[in-house]
A and B are shown apart, each in its own frame.
Chain A
Amino acid sequence: MSIVPKETIEVIAQSIGIPNLSPDVALALAPDVEYRLREITQEAIKCMRHSKRTVLTADDVDSALNLRNIEPIYGFASSDPLKFKRAIGHKDLFYLDDREVDFKEVIDAPLPKAPLDTAVVTHWLAIEGVQPAIPENPPIEAIVAPPDGKKMDHGKDDSLPIDLKLPIKHVLSRELQMYFDKIGELILGRADTPLFKDALLSLAKDSGLHPLVPYFSYFIADEVSRNLNNLPILFALMRVVKSLLSNPHIHIEPYLHQMMPSIITCLVAKRVGHQISDNHWAIRDFASKIVASICRRYGHVYHNLQSRLTKTLIHAFLDPSKALTQHYGAIQGLSALGPSVVRLLILPNLETYMQLLDPEMQLDKQKNELKRKEAWRVYGSLLLAGGSCLYDRLRLFPGLLSPPDILPWKTNKKIALTNLPNNKRKASSRLTAHQPPTKKLAVDPTGTNSQFPSTDGPVTSSSSGSNPNHHHSHNSSNNNSSSTGNITNANANINNVSGSGAHGQRVAVSNVLRQAWKEDLDAGHLLSSLHGLFGEGIFSFIQPAEMHCFI
């Protein structure tokens, strides 16, 4: 009858020292207990309202008890709402999670930080009825992005994207319009001025920009497709994207779908900028970082974001008809997503891909200097991806290198060491072979730099130094002891990449790589197979401590 069951009364009676309360008494008391409870609750709610709160606290109940001249219940003082837990197996039974506290623990614990003192700050909630867009005010939610279709239609017949807002019921303040115009002007015209840096900072920090996001996203998409040949503009646009993404006051998720295509374009486009003179590799690297950061931040919100992205990239990577530049972008994008993605998607395909790539890298197979350069670039990025993946494995499980593998590697190392002078000579000869045409091709000095970018250390070293090791590794698997034969056979061996002698090992290598995605993969096996493909270059990714195992 009453919501307080008589059992509760009995339990309470027991707890205050009345062991055998007759059931009749309990039954008679129950309704009154409920009534009193309601009474106290009603008073407590009054106290809560007068404290200008909407959540009832223990203090309110105490005040209500005070009002009725009842002693308050001690031990529940807390200014925060109490946290109740549901008893397992009961639908409507809750209890306070009241941990037992060890006195010693409390005494020994460092003093908690003193609570901050109350302070008053002022801001303008509205100026003549209009809310200024400052961090103190909530972001303006009322503005709804116009539907895409409408936007596209209008964009076609109107070259200026700023005019888009005309048909849309979306009031953009004059200041914002001017801001947008200025930013657009900077991107297209003066991206190298210090002013542009300030603009990027403003884009990354200002809180009132949310209404402009749809315009920016459209602007970026539009300009990227239009200026694929103009590297500085593309760079400027990507930096704007990065700034917008880092702005904590902007709610950018609804516009991601519009921005992603342009970023991916910058990443895997066949031609970005002038192939020869511009450092289009840098923008691919930059775009890959942006893509990775987007995936990290919004991956949990859009579950298919990363899967769709990787699908696009892996398509670009595995399609042999695509240009090497595209492959490079895809590899960079995938490796930026983290070592697990590399393990899952790149390593299983590594071997087949290397077969494809190898001829491109050889002086005698690929006569086009530019193509060869590109191939080396791709090779470098693959090495970086594989290496960082390996590094990650070793960092996580340092003890994973299995002893049996050490022995052969030791011998290998020796050979490598003995080979060193040769390698150097070879490398230098290769360099000298490269240099003159490069200079010829690159008219401006920046172009030469970009051919051999000093910025990415591993890539440079791998492209110049690891190639001889590469020959050598196959060689050594065939012919463990002879170093002289190695030198003489070097070129021949490379041509025999799929030769019968190497075949046995090859199967093993591909097997290992195919298993690469498995968590419990032996890092040693992974290392050996990667070494099989990349040679010594892979060692630069292993920490010195682990290196000791090999020497």
Chain B
Amino acid sequence: MRKSVLSPRKEHDAESGNRSSLDKGPAQARQSVRQSSRYGGSRMSMRPSAARASKIGGRGTEVGLVGDHKVVDAEGKDRTPKPMLVFRAPGPLKAAGSVMGSDSFQDTGFGLGRMSSNASSMMAGGFGGRLSTQQSMNFGVPSLHTGSPIANSELWDFESESANGSPRGSESGMGSARGPMGVIKEGDEGGGRAGMARPGAVAVTPEALESAHSVRLIESANHWIWTLPGSLVPASGSDAASVTSANVRYATLLREREGNDRQVHGEAQTLNPLLKAKETQTEARSTSTAECQVGNVELQATEAENDGSQDMLEASASQQQRPMSRKQQEGAEKDDGFQPSPDLTASLLASSNFENMAVLGNLNPGSGLESTRSSFAEHGGLEHQGSSASSLAPFGLGRDSSGMQGGLTSAVVSLRTTRDQAGQTNPLGLLPSLPQLLAVMEAALLQRTHQPHFLAYRDMHPLWAPQPTQPTRPQQLPASASEEEDLALPDSAAASTPRDLSKEESMSNTTGSAQLRVLWEWSSQWGQDLATTCMAWNKDGTVQLHDVKSRQAAPTESSKVGHAKHSEAVAQVRWVDRGPDHAELLISISPDGRVTSWSLSEGLAYTDLMKLRRVASQQTPRARPAQHAAQGWAPHPPGTGSKPGTSGMKSSVGSGRPGSPVPAVTGPNPRASLLARPGSPDLPMPSSRGVAHGKDMTRVASPPRGPKPGGMPGGRRLAGMRADSSLSRAASGWCLAFNPREPRTYLAGTEEGLVHRCSVTYSEQYLSTYSGHMGPVTALQWCPFRPSLFLSASADWTLKLWEEGQMRPVLTMQAVNEEVNDAAWCPARSTVLASATAGGRLELWDLAQSVVKPAALYCAPQGVRLACLMFAQDAPVIMAGMSNGNVAVIRVHDVYDWDASSSSQEAALKAALEANVVKSPQSTAGA
């Protein structure tokens, strides 16, 4: 406990002392205080004396000014307050302490109280030393204030006693002590004593009241009942220094306690709850788990389905089937959403095993799982959920299916059974999307199959395939005649079985400039049974128009009816582009000698443009006029003059008409996007011309009536013209060529080897005739780079270049002794042309290189003839029709030159021609 130094401690006990004193009688207390203060200074005795109740006038008197007063209430009872301190005649006065000791506790209390209330004024006297240790106690003791009359009285008593010094002093003392109280009644000191002997029997006279009385206060002895050592230490004391230092240390400790390392905070629990352990046992619950993965997508999908399939479920359950927020169920955290319901266990299958499916999903709202399970059920429906039935989510029911509430099992079973039944009866038919998938798959397969070819076509190396080896030597591969392919022909309805296509052939080129490489070959149903690829529908001379897009077998238009059709097979059909203002013309030429134009305005109306007539040979100077009445067809004013078509003539060939259907087909239709315009000599469909029908193979096989194997050094032969001059005056036209720059004239090549230039409008006579070939002219084409140059191919094994206006060919090319069935200019290179021979050779001629031998060569497989060929317009590819029904797509390398401008092309061609033509007159070319 802290001890403070001489700092009086004010205790609340003083207050209580105050209170207690107040209880006694406030008036008396105050009085006594007043009086004591009046007299106390000088007359204060050293000895504290116990206070006694001053009884002035005895018992009945109040302790106050009036000693003899009695307080009587209304009823006459004596209500005078009795003094609390009963005066007892004491023995010879002893020390205050002993007197004090005999007193009651009550007295001492009062004495003490008095002591305390006397306070510092008394203490300050000599009491300091003695009372220091007890000071606090003094103060701590509930004490009366000095105002207690008892104390005063006692003091007074003693005083009077001591003053008198007689045994009677007590009484007198008392009396005198009471004097002040009863001072009033007596004026002298001794006067009060008498009154004291008999307590209460004090007569207070007004005189006594007026007289002055002296009061001497003494203190009674202190009785210490309880001592509480104070915590105050006087600064001058012996241990003050130690106390001070201890105080300082303690204060420092308190300050440093926070955060001090030597301070350890500890906790202790003072109350331990009572624990009681108990064990129970339950039956093991059978559970099983399964997983599945669900993505955001499936959640949405199944949610959408589920919303639509509400009617399938119970109403109450359906409400709870609304899936929880996706975030809860996303990903693989399925089991978090699960609250294993004691009633229900459902085993979810591992995603790898899809068997024993049962539908779960509809749960009784009573079960704890509800929405989590049900929605999980939906989502566990995994991927392929399309129908609402499947949205019920295949799940496997656990063994505790009995615990499942809700009448779902019936629905489950029914669903399952239906599925099984349906599955078993018609496994594939149940799948509505299977055909589409099959189509997609087939397309993918074919795409994969043909991808190398596609890439090679575009000069790209196929993916993941071994790099194409450098072409070393030509390989002869067997023709894949038996293979077919699902080729989208215009009229092929049923898809043929896909076959493998071949067989890249690569050829080496001796000159190294051009290469030919077969990419693939096509065959189709149409050509399978026929030795040629010509379409049968032109066999009888009808011109039929087929719509490629409509894919119908029947032609759109036909010229079967009436006399419109050619009496012979149609040799060639051409579309003439007359510009944007006019529709295209369909011109056909046939061995029956008619050049017919067909218009599509009403049905298929025809107009004979020309009837090819035989031209008399040069030896017969008479020119036979054409005898026919051809309907004029004059969309254009006849602008072209007519020249007597009697230029150098040679007819070496007979009419060649009988029954030689050399059908040729170019089946284009104006509506087909692939239609070839006559301006471009390429036909969209490879057609073979000149190769006879199967039954007419004999014809072609027979050597042409052209030049004898010995060649025609230059002589001209006359055919037996005269023999059939009257009967058959029509020359059989085999080929047709329209100049893109001059659509009003056209070239017609006949079987006689003549090339007639005719006018569209003037049908009477030829404008000019180019003779030189000794065999039927099989192909004609104007040069795309040089408008006055055209190419003719003939069955007399030669190719001839003609310049318009010159009756002699500019150039003649022949490689082998095989009749040339088709020839064409290369659209991208002015000096390049190709020819297809009946021996199966595809020759690529480059005039700039050589006119003697072809620059590149492709040999068809053994026994296959090339019937026709076509350059692709935008790709370096040549298509060649073969006699086995295949179409070869041949890649041309290093030939096409797209970048060169037309002027440079022309210049190149011109240079080539000049280079060669100069030589040609010397060589025995042409004729």
**A and B form one complex:** no
Write the residues of chain A forming the contact surface with B, with a CB cutoff of 8 angstroms: none
Write the residues of chain B forming the contact surface with A, with a CB cutoff of 8 angstroms: none
